[in-house]
Structure 1
């Protein structure tokens, strides 16, 4: 079945989504968003249409606003939300329906969720990045649910010939207060669909929520337990073939020659040919083996002989990359923020000066589900299925690269077994589409674990040079952090990030920094030095904050130690606003921070990114063999307005485990231009016995919604290293490290 989103009637859209009977469909328009997902306009979204199956909304809609989402209620009363965000474990299948259910006055158990296809005109921006699902869409979903509720109430009032003010909705029904009459939503949808949506709706106060804020069970878990959930590898099509690709292990190398005689002799192998995939500004080459089963394709690849052309680009070793970063910090000023000019003068006035260098490695994404994609290319149409984190980007990329009109490119999401940014990239669907076009058949391209770990892109490593000065009272007078790293994005050729300007610092660099420091520290300086590399680099869970947080919060701890002050009290002195002070005070109470004032082994870090503030306290001790034991991690997240506390706790716990692995277990090394670690026997993951007791707490306040999926990761490495210093006096400035070797 092919869906072509921009020319679908609503009747076809609903029918193709397997809804039957009458359906009230609500569309919400919202202000446009910039490329980072920030709202470009202002004001509440407005509900602009309702339809009975094929009814249509306004054709002349303002081009500055885009259709966001649909809510459908059929004649049986079933509520369906077409979810425009991917589900990779972060909980959108529960949190987004839970928002709608609150204002719609339905039991969340009545809400069904379906993935929406790529269609920015109907669903708005669809990237699953920046922990943006709830913080970016809660207002639109609340208004959509409330508008549908008010239309159903008005329909009931007209049927009963009573004032709508005498009616109310609860649990999927409309009730008439004076008489006790009631009617289910399913019996009202036909009449409600003929009404104009309300121009304004009153949303509930938080104190009146019945659904939002409750730890309701996730809707996707039962299907993932019983095996009915559809992941990318579960997709099948009539006549589908399978492919694996032997890719050049040196990233930018080309195919010189290949011998496929032994491969073609294997039963089931159909074709062997060269194929490319676009990685930023380069076309990476490989040899595709296509067969009638995945086993035959893999067996065929083992028999394949390829000679590579690896001329014309550097073959990096890890030490060369690291030395280039160190050299860059020593010889280049880098891109500076406006206050940097004053910094060097002001730090000379400090009573005490400190310098330190921190290093973080390249990291693989290593999702539990390796990459895969199913493509069917026919003449002027392309359809894609798979674990896709960003359908809009992939739709646009395929349209441009393959010369197919955007409206003829359909991108369909399945569940993702982890994403962390890697599955938002466009390379693997592009490769699958090229293979399908060559074969003139649907093809599923499967990446092995080794493919996934050695082909990149990777989170880039970084080196930080930090310098700070304290005044006579032990307060930070001046603070500087300079980073040398490979830019995330096209080529890593040493050019500046797109966000740089001569008078402003890179906002990505500040991710992870507790922004309250910028108010309390009189003089600060941030700079970036870009290095070039043939190794592809891109975002990783929490992006820049994953490395920035380690350097900055480790250095703040060093400044506290130099000042002779308690690490928690020192941070509180430098948190200039009440929100941060409330978090640090509660974190100290919850963790039992140095309760007796004597016990050693306490570490703390507070970071901010994606609209949320997170603090971790780590307690460590010595085992009988004098090796380090992590006793407990206490985490406190301030994400403002939130939906489901269980999802928040799960996400912070998962982020802690991932961040802990990056701190003490795994890194990607390069030798002669190739990745060394190729599976979990060398790219070590934390095991259950590596994970201590973890407690996660949530701040309660009236702040606007922040992100959850990523902000829990950055504080764990600095908090752990700070705790080890408190216990042993040894400062760890390079990740990963082996706790048993401390």
Structure 2
């Protein structure tokens, strides 16, 4: 189904064109209603007609012709700040670089979910934005045609103007907004075919790049408001411990330090205690924190070490069938009777998010309301959490979004904004709480470390059964407790077409809990699942004496997958590679996009493995900007290299062993291989791209190492210099 056909079937959405801002602007937005009919209402009328439902003004055109776009999701490097403007510019026929973009506040009634996660911004909004923009364009054309007393068909829009074809007469949008605001929006708006796009699909320069280059962009850590104080917090290193006592004498002697007190930070359904140091500057607060003397109460919970965590997981994989997420056929029975089968365990580590911009947040508690400013991925979640914790009306928790210097899921957590609120409440003033890199490394939350038991059977060169069991922490349990169901992400990353061609498959989750806080990490569970499942498919291919690419082709029978495989073979020269040349393949699905990686490796003369090249083929359906997609894939590969071969979070006696980049090292430029990225062209629904480029890299790399050396790697991270 095409984009234009899809937008006509949008359910429970009404498109509004309203006269707003005292009649001086044309505002277009969306509001939730029981039908999908366009309506022409004032904002007050819209609210009266739909109690509690407010208009979301996404596009505003003033009488000067200036176009303002309200960006409802966070910009954390993934490019939505630019891409949303690119969509608007295409159908509205305005200059992409003339659009003013404003980050908005959290307001679920106006914008729906504002969670920036799951690579959801473009795929969740593009159809609405296309139709909104086209509707604005058509209303402006109607206004011009009416003024000239000519048929609409004689007029067209271009570069912010409506032009009369026969006469060449021209009116800019600003001259038309008042007339346009009085017209009834057309019900059916024809959208452009992809072949007609002039802006979408082009790799134009990002709107936010100059702002981030010249320092104009305001990140959370840059934000300042009147009367702002600054704070840091010394938190229990064992994550769930309490404050037994503290001595603030030395801290209070540090110039600039004004207050020291105990603070409690909510982490979903538990609490974490610490001691806050408030000062006139962040530097003073940090020095005061260093001077603190704190005695901790660490009783009442386990002090786990990494070897114990994975030993427990492996034991569970031996003895428990776990909770079934999905099953078809009889994989257990087939495997039990099979002559040719595999039963292996894969292991993935805990990982830190290590965002470039350390965690920070400004909060101002004012008895009847709270206002928050910062690098937040999920303003709606913060409003929910803080309002419930404080017993305050949700609408009185105001969340203002800034640019984020990286998020990866960490900054969707409401813990750090809530902590800032508690500090502000105590001191009766606005405060910015800044985490150090050591805080970030030692406090989490982390990507959960997971072990997988993978069983499979082959017969006559094909797979007859697959059985996967996962033992690792469930992120959902931190948010809403244990509901007794399998982790809903147990099969994440595994391609859906496999279910159609492999008749016996099961996925199970073995519940596993620790005091360690975990949360979403880039590509969430696909980043760990993908390593286990795609590595295991490679093992089965070799056991069946099948080329790994041919095995995937055998079971990925749909046309879209076949075209992806064709492209992967074409760009990498897969079929012309030599035996033991060091090639590995993996394909994963993540947030409605399928991404295939082929990695080529070779042996270094000095020992170890060199990653020569990575070919990536992306099928994300309808897309906006190829350069942004490629940048996201490149960044994902760099992040995946680190997670697979360089760093991990480990625990000893309940405490994190890593503290900063000296012992949680990042990939260096010399570690980065050549990358060749290709995007499939089709008009399928848009998938995400902020995350899907990551999961397939690790298994493609380890599969390539097996092809070169015959050594199978089943545990991450591994030392690539000693393989």
In structure 2, relative to structure 1, the CA distance for the partners of 1:460 and 1:258 (3 Å cut) is same
Aligned length: 707
Q: Is the 8 A contact 2:20 2:27 kept in 1?
A: no
- How far did residue 516 of structure 1 move? 1.4
The answer on 1:655 being equivalent to 2:671 is no
Counterpart among 292, 295, 300 of residue 307 in structure 1: 295
Q: Is the 8 A contact 2:599 2:701 kept in 1?
A: yes
Counterpart among 456, 469, 474 of residue 487 in structure 1: 474
Q: Is the 8 A contact 1:493 1:531 kept in 2?
A: no
Counterpart among 513, 534, 557 of residue 576 in structure 1: 557
Q: Is the 8 A contact 1:334 1:529 kept in 2?
A: yes
**Helix, strand or coil at the partner of 1:509:** coil
Q: Is the 8 A contact 1:329 1:482 kept in 2?
A: yes
The match for 2:572 is 591
The match for 1:364 is 352
- How far did residue 480 of structure 1 move? 0.9
Query: Unaligned stretches of 5+ in structure 2?
Result: 1-16
Matches within 5 A, 1:608-623: 608-623=589-604
**Helix, strand or coil at the partner of 2:283:** helix
**Helix, strand or coil at the partner of 1:384:** strand
Q: Is the 8 A contact 1:263 1:300 kept in 2?
A: yes
The match for 1:210 is 198
TM, length-normalised to structure 1 = 0.92
- How far did residue 704 of structure 1 move? 1.0
The match for 1:736 is 717
In structure 2, relative to structure 1, the CA distance for the partners of 1:652 and 1:340 (3 Å cut) is same
Question: What is the CA deviation profile of residues 408-446 of structure 1, one whole-angstrom value per residue up to 9, with x for unaligned ones?
Answer: 221001100000000000000000011111111110100
Q: Is the 8 A contact 1:491 1:533 kept in 2?
A: no
Q: How far apart in 2 are the matches of 1:50 and 1:186? A: 20
TM, length-normalised to structure 2 = 0.95
Q: Which 10-residue stretch deviates more, 455-464 or 335-344? A: 335-344
Q: Is the 8 A contact 2:359 2:411 kept in 1?
A: yes
Question: What is the CA deviation profile of residues 310-350 of structure 1, one whole-angstrom value per residue up to 9, with x for unaligned ones?
Answer: 10000110111111111111222101145367222222453
- How far did residue 515 of structure 1 move? 1.5
Counterpart among 5, 27, 30 of residue 29 in structure 2: 27
Question: What is the CA deviation profile of residues 612-647 of structure 1, one whole-angstrom value per residue up to 9, with x for unaligned ones?
Answer: 000000000112224211100011100000000000
Q: How far apart in 1 are the matches of 2:530 and 2:53? A: 36
In structure 2, relative to structure 1, the CA distance for the partners of 1:116 and 1:11 (3 Å cut) is farther
Q: How far apart in 1 are the matches of 2:480 and 2:377? A: 26
- How far did residue 30 of structure 1 move? 5.0
The match for 1:538 is 519
Question: What is the CA deviation profile of residues 520-553 of structure 1, one whole-angstrom value per residue up to 9, with x for unaligned ones?
Answer: 1110111110111000111111011000000000
Counterpart among 477, 489, 492 of residue 464 in structure 2: 477
Q: How far apart in 1 are the matches of 2:128 and 2:118? A: 18
Q: Is the 8 A contact 2:46 2:54 kept in 1?
A: no
Q: How far apart in 2 are the matches of 1:674 and 1:318? A: 10
Q: Which 10-residue stretch deviates more, 665-674 or 258-267? A: 258-267
Q: How far apart in 1 are the matches of 2:107 and 2:563? A: 42
- How far did residue 66 of structure 1 move? 7.1
The match for 2:335 is 347
Q: How far apart in 2 are the matches of 1:463 and 1:455? A: 23
**Helix, strand or coil at the partner of 2:134:** helix
The answer on 1:265 being equivalent to 2:222 is no
Please report the RMSD computed on the Cα atoms of aligned residues, expressed in angstroms. 2.1
Counterpart among 670, 694, 706 of residue 689 in structure 1: 670
Q: How far apart in 2 are the matches of 1:295 and 1:574? A: 58
Q: How far apart in 1 are the matches of 2:621 and 2:39? A: 29
**Helix, strand or coil at the partner of 2:102:** strand
Q: How far apart in 1 are the matches of 2:27 and 2:370? A: 28
Q: How far apart in 2 are the matches of 1:627 and 1:386? A: 43
The match for 1:547 is 528
**Helix, strand or coil at the partner of 1:580:** helix
The answer on 1:152 being equivalent to 2:154 is no
Q: Is the 8 A contact 2:424 2:430 kept in 1?
A: yes
The match for 2:682 is 701
Counterpart among 559, 562, 573 of residue 540 in structure 2: 559
The match for 1:142 is 130
The match for 1:438 is 426
Question: What is the CA deviation profile of residues 380-401 of structure 1, one whole-angstrom value per residue up to 9, with x for unaligned ones?
Answer: 1111100011111111211111
Q: How far apart in 2 are the matches of 1:93 and 1:512? A: 27
Q: How far apart in 1 are the matches of 2:263 and 2:18? A: 40
**Helix, strand or coil at the partner of 1:739:** coil
Q: Is the 8 A contact 1:494 1:530 kept in 2?
A: no
Q: Which 10-residue stretch deviates more, 637-646 or 330-339? A: 330-339
In structure 2, relative to structure 1, the CA distance for the partners of 1:193 and 1:361 (3 Å cut) is same
Q: Name segments (4+ residues, structure 1) moved above 6 Å.
A: 10-15, 63-66
Q: Is the 8 A contact 1:27 1:50 kept in 2?
A: no
In structure 2, relative to structure 1, the CA distance for the partners of 1:298 and 1:212 (3 Å cut) is same
**Helix, strand or coil at the partner of 2:610:** strand
Question: What is the CA deviation profile of residues 669-705 of structure 1, one whole-angstrom value per residue up to 9, with x for unaligned ones?
Answer: 0011111111000011101000010111100112111
- How far did residue 68 of structure 1 move? 4.7
The match for 2:440 is 452
The match for 1:670 is 651
- How far did residue 211 of structure 1 move? 1.1
- How far did residue 60 of structure 1 move? 3.9
Counterpart among 367, 370, 376 of residue 364 in structure 2: 376
- How far did residue 77 of structure 1 move? 1.1
Q: Is the 8 A contact 2:230 2:279 kept in 1?
A: yes
Q: Is the 8 A contact 1:26 1:50 kept in 2?
A: no
- How far did residue 490 of structure 1 move? 3.5
- How far did residue 29 of structure 1 move? 2.8
**Helix, strand or coil at the partner of 1:288:** strand
**Helix, strand or coil at the partner of 1:620:** strand
Question: What is the CA deviation profile of residues 440-495 of structure 1, one whole-angstrom value per residue up to 9, with x for unaligned ones?
Answer: 111010000000111111110000011111122x1111011111111113449994
- How far did residue 165 of structure 1 move? 2.3
The match for 1:526 is 507
**Helix, strand or coil at the partner of 2:116:** coil
